[in-house]
Structures are given as C-alpha cells and as structure tokens.
Amino acid sequence: MDKSLLLRTLIFEGFNYEELDSALIYLEAKEEIFKKGELLIKFSSPIKAFGVIESGIVQVSCDDINGNRMIMATIGRGDIFAESLACLNTKESPIYATAVEDVKVVWLCAEHIRQNSADTPLHKKIVANFIRAIAHKCLSMNNRIQILSKKTIREKVITYLSQLAEHEKNNKIFVPLDRQDMANYLGVERSALSRELSRMKAQGIITYNRNCFKVL
C-alpha cells in the first residue's frame, strides 16, 4: 500500500505512520486492483466498506427512472468514495462505480465506525476524520447542484470549468471525461454540448484540444 498517499487523504489526516498502521488493521484494510471497465461497486449490492483510490480514475454513476445513466462524480488518486453508504451499511447500493482506467483501491471496513463501539484515541481520531470527509463530500455535491441548476448549456459549461479551474488553481484544465460522459455529467445532450463548445471557442471564451481546456 502507498502509505505516504494514505496519510494525505482526509480519512488519515494528521496521522503518523505508527497510527496509520494501527488504523489499517482496525479498519481491516484490503488492497484490490480493477481493470478498465470493471465495476468496483455493483448496483443493488451491499456496501460494508468504503474505498481510497491509490491510482486510476473511477466514475460513480446511477440510472434514472428511464434507465438513463447519470454520472454523479469522477474521482481519482487520493479520493474517498462510498463512505456514506458504507456507514449506513447499505443493503442495496443505489449507485455503481466503474474503473475508467486500471484502478488500485484500498477498501476500509466501516463496521467499527458505524457501531462506535470503541472508546480509544485511535477510534475517536478516525471518527473525527470520517465526519470531516463526509462534510467535504457534501460540499462537492453542492458544486454538482450548482451545475444542474443552471438553465443553459453555456452556464453549465462555464460553472463546471470554473470549478475545475478553482480546484487546480489554474485556468488550464484537464477534464477527466470524454464528450459523452461530460454531457451526462452536465445533464445535456452530447450533440448540443459539442455545438455550444464550438460556439464558445469561436467567441474566444474558451480554447480546447480534446480534454485539455483553457478558460480565456
């Protein structure tokens, strides 16, 4: 396991290596590798553990009532996923997670966190970080709500790219989605998205080459 990476994640923030080793045992950590296209979490499956991505990119999705795929999030190295569902001990997952490329993930069992059965400094530290991680995820979902609340495709694109630029502290942005997935994430048609991107480029609002964008 990449312990230096794990120490930089929200769940192990403020831990030293000795505490990390104890926490990994306490949370029954297990490393697993998935090939591109494989499901890390299957729809309707039980979720008892949450994951930390060591390498690769994962898309978290769900289907609407008509069977249309909706991308909830695209996450990568150092990100945590499925923590809320694991904490709830979800019997049937409402989402599924797919490896966009080869992925290495560390699974952490949420049972001890959920039951809150131990009263040790290590347990308290894990729970405090776990709560912060969930709060951080709530803020991330607020970003998605901001995008979906916009009325026009242009507003959705500008909001999305602005969020990525703010996160990267750079106006040169790599979008970790192909055009179809980007359209799904923004809640628009792919053809309409492509037309709007072309118009924005012609009007000098953005430039792009495949997945590399620059906000002008």
User: What would the pLDDT profile of 33-53 be if each residue is shown by its tens digit?
Assistant: 999 999 999 999 999 999 999
- Mean per-residue pLDDT, 72-84: 89
**pLDDT at residue 12 above 90?**
yes
Domain span including residue 181: 150-215
Q: Are residues 110 and 202 in the same domain?
A: no
Query: Are 101 and 135 part of one and the same domain?
Result: yes
Q: What percent of the chain has pLDDT over 70?
A: 99
- Of 147, 169, 199, the position where a domain reaches its end is 147
Last residue of a domain, one of 116, 147, 178: 147
**CATH number of the domain where residue 185 is located:** 1.10.10.10
| CA dihedral for 55, 165, 196, 147, sign (positive or negative) | positive
Kindly indicate the confidence band of residue 73, based on its pLDDT and cuts at 50, 70 and 90: confident
pTM of the model: 0.76
How far is the C-alpha of 112 from the C-alpha of 108, rounded, in Å? Answer: 10
> At which residue do the structure tokens 């996450």 appear?
75
pLDDT of residue 165: 87
Please give the angle made by the CA atoms of 45, 50 and 51, to the nearest 5 degrees.
115
